[in-house]
Amino acid sequence: MENLRDKYEVVIGLEVHAQLKTKSKIFAPDGCEFGHEPNTQTSPITLGMPGVLPVLNKEVVNMGILTGLALNCEIPECCKFDRKQYFYPDLPKGYQISQYDQPICVNGYINVKGKRIGITRAHLEEDAGKLVHAGADGLAGSSYSLVDLNRAGTPLLEIVSEPDMRSSEEARNYMEELRNIVRYIGVCDGNLEEGSMRCDANISIMPKGSKEFGTRAEIKNVNSFSALQRAIEFEIDRQIEIVEEGGQVVQETRLWDDNSKETRSMRGKEDAHDYRYFPEPDLMPLKISREWVNEIKNKMPELPQAKRERYIGLGLSEYDASVIVEQMGLALFFDEVLKSGANPKTAVNFIMGEIAAYLKEEHIEISDTKLTPENLSELISLIEKNTISNNIGKQIIFEMLKDGTSASEIVEKKGLSQITDENALKEIVQKVINSNSNQVEAYKNGKTQLFGFFVGQVMKETKGRANPKAVNDILKEILG
């Protein structure tokens, strides 16, 4: 397959659904929190009862505008809602309220690892309910399905990219950056596994150098970044094989099965006219004043790209900067530590080193620990003032994480402050030398690698409290 790959260019465009983190639904007052008893978040509006009317939730519009601005989109003065008709048991009204030809956001882009990926548009819509197939739920052989309408009416923002991506890796990077953005601006959890962010990948291939895109297949049901990449890779090979055998790729929707690692045809792709879109008669077109847009613009938090650049400016490597930005909890914690004046490099070494390892091991977030930014900052200043060694710092951080004790308390309680007094250290060094006369002789006869052994002995003697530089200097002086 590898050399066949060289003959083709891959074209990818993503449609990403982000579930907006509002308290109530897009057109109804019922809550949209995850995890409630089935069918308990279902007002008559959600159930599509006759005579009810949708009322637009202003917070949904605020979040739509905020996201559009973060994606460098234009926010048109006027947008409107449309009915998209289709029949399915999880859709009580028989239509979904969406936005068709006048969406809330248009013409945007984001920069992903140096490449600009266009955003065609982003539009607001309501989610459908969920079908629970009883057979799949352990009741094998049962032939019915249950419908849970709690999710129906949950606000979604569908973000549609231009077909600008050329590899599965680019698609994954785009999706990851999009997730970073919606999380940092606080509009979406960005949790692919739980479905608060969902992605349909449109994929086509064309001969290298061709100007005309091939027919695309749309892949649904990818619920992790790695599954997205795997699904795209599988699909590229599938399409190449069809074309190489003289066949044609058909436009269709395919489902990714992450167990069997393949895509399967789900249905032929509907064209827009199949949905019989028409303007939603129960909702007025929505006028968005420039004042409204500016008010939201002024509240824009720092975006991931800007954060990475700021961290690099502080002396972090590009790699460290992106790793920390990927983990929003850690990045926000890091920002607090910086505010209290700590050295950025030392802070990031602690956060990405001991702290990240601890969190991973315990399967928790930084907010689940007792460590405060002030305490980490104090620990760092104790190291910089040479009150304790870096090694001691790395040991006591775990107690700080577990108990919330401050570094100075631990140092005092355990007598961990560093020994920098030259006379005291000389005495200890002398003692080590006296009791290791064989090694001293070997050292003097040229076995200079024993130097580390002496340092180690002094550290052992002082329980790690000796200032390493001072020990080195004294040893050199005495051993000659």
Residues that bind ligand ADP (CB under 6 A): 11-15, 160-163, 202-204, 213-214, 216, 218
Partner whose binding site includes residue 24, from ligand ADP, Mg ion, none (CB under 5 to 8 Å by kind): none
Partner whose binding site includes residue 176, from Mg ion, ligand ADP, none (CB under 5 to 8 Å by kind): none
Beta carbon nearer to ligand ADP, 125 or 218: 218
Strand partners, 206: 9
- In whole angstroms, give the CA distance from residue 60 to residue 44: 20
Length of the chain: 480
Instruction: Report yes or no: 354 and 394 within 8 Å, Cβ to Cβ.
Output: yes
Q: Which of residues 14-53 bind Mg ion (CB under 5 A)?
A: 15
- In whole angstroms, give the CA distance from residue 196 to residue 192: 6
- Contact residues for 93 (Cβ-Cβ < 8 A; gap 6+): 48
- In whole angstroms, give the CA distance from residue 106 to residue 108: 6
Partner whose binding site includes residue 338, from Mg ion, ligand ADP, none (CB under 5 to 8 Å by kind): none
Q: Which of residues 297-356 bind Mg ion (CB under 5 A)?
A: none
Task: Provide the minimum distance between the beta carbon of 14 and ligand ADP in the complex, in angstroms, as a whole number.
Answer: 6
Stretch that binds Mg ion, among 8-16, 63-71, 97-105, 464-472 (CB under 5 A): 8-16
Of all residues in this chain, which one has the CB nearest to ligand ADP in the complex?
A: 13
Of all residues in this chain, which one has the CB nearest to Mg ion in the complex?
A: 15
Stretch that binds Mg ion, among 12-20, 38-46, 96-104, 413-421 (CB under 5 A): 12-20
For residue 314, give both structure tokens: 């502080």
Partner whose binding site includes residue 163, from ligand ADP, Mg ion, none (CB under 5 to 8 Å by kind): ligand ADP
With tokens 């989109």, the residue in question is 73
Task: Provide the minimum distance between the beta carbon of 215 and ligand ADP in the complex, in angstroms, as a whole number.
Answer: 7
Compute and round to an integer the Cα radius of gyration of the chain: 30
In order of 16, 108, 194, the CA distances from 119 in angstroms are 11, 5, 24
Beta carbon nearer to ligand ADP, 216 or 254: 216
Task: Provide the minimum distance between the beta carbon of 352 and Mg ion in the complex, in angstroms, as a whole number.
Answer: 38
Beta carbon nearer to Mg ion, 12 or 474: 12
Instruction: Give the closest residue to 112 by CA, choosing from 174, 169, 175, 162.
Output: 174
Beta carbon nearer to Mg ion, 132 or 255: 255
Beta carbon nearer to Mg ion, 205 or 355: 205
Partner whose binding site includes residue 198, from Mg ion, ligand ADP, none (CB under 5 to 8 Å by kind): none
- In whole angstroms, give the CA distance from residue 57 to residue 413: 56
- In whole angstroms, give the CA distance from residue 188 to residue 180: 10
- In whole angstroms, give the CA distance from residue 237 to residue 165: 17
Partner whose binding site includes residue 213, from ligand ADP, Mg ion, none (CB under 5 to 8 Å by kind): ligand ADP
In sign, the C-alpha dihedral spanning 43, 47, 48, 50 is negative
Footprint on this chain of Mg ion (rule: CB under 5 A): 15
